[in-house]
Amino acid sequence: MKNIYKESLIHHSDRGLQYCSIDYKKVLKKKNIMLSMTESYDPYANAIAERINGILKQEFRLEDYQVNIQTMKLLVKELL
């Protein structure tokens, strides 16, 4: 899979086993994607990131559309 993004990406997740696996981390590193995880197993520990991710997925339904990174940045800026 070719990395189509010109800027670095951050993948935020909880500490689920699939996200902590060595193989998964290697794939992210190979694609120059930074991994962001909660400090504990508490998904509320990073409430701002969780809220923004939820809004982008549920309210803006970005997964249903081909939205470019500039549009996503504008939407996030409006949320903050």
CB burial readout 15-47, b (16+ within 10 A) else e: eeeeeeeeebeeeeeeeebeeebbeeeeeeebe
Domain assignments of the chain as residue spans, ordered by start: 9-79
> pLDDT tens for residues 29-53?
998 898 888 776 666 667 777 777 7
Decide: pTM greater than 0.75. Answer: no
Pairing type for strands 33-37 and 9-13 reads parallel
Higher per-residue confidence, 33 vs 14: 33
Residue where the block lists tokens 């086993």 = 17
The band of 23, judged by pLDDT with boundaries at 50, 70 and 90, is very high
Average pLDDT estimate for 1-14: 70
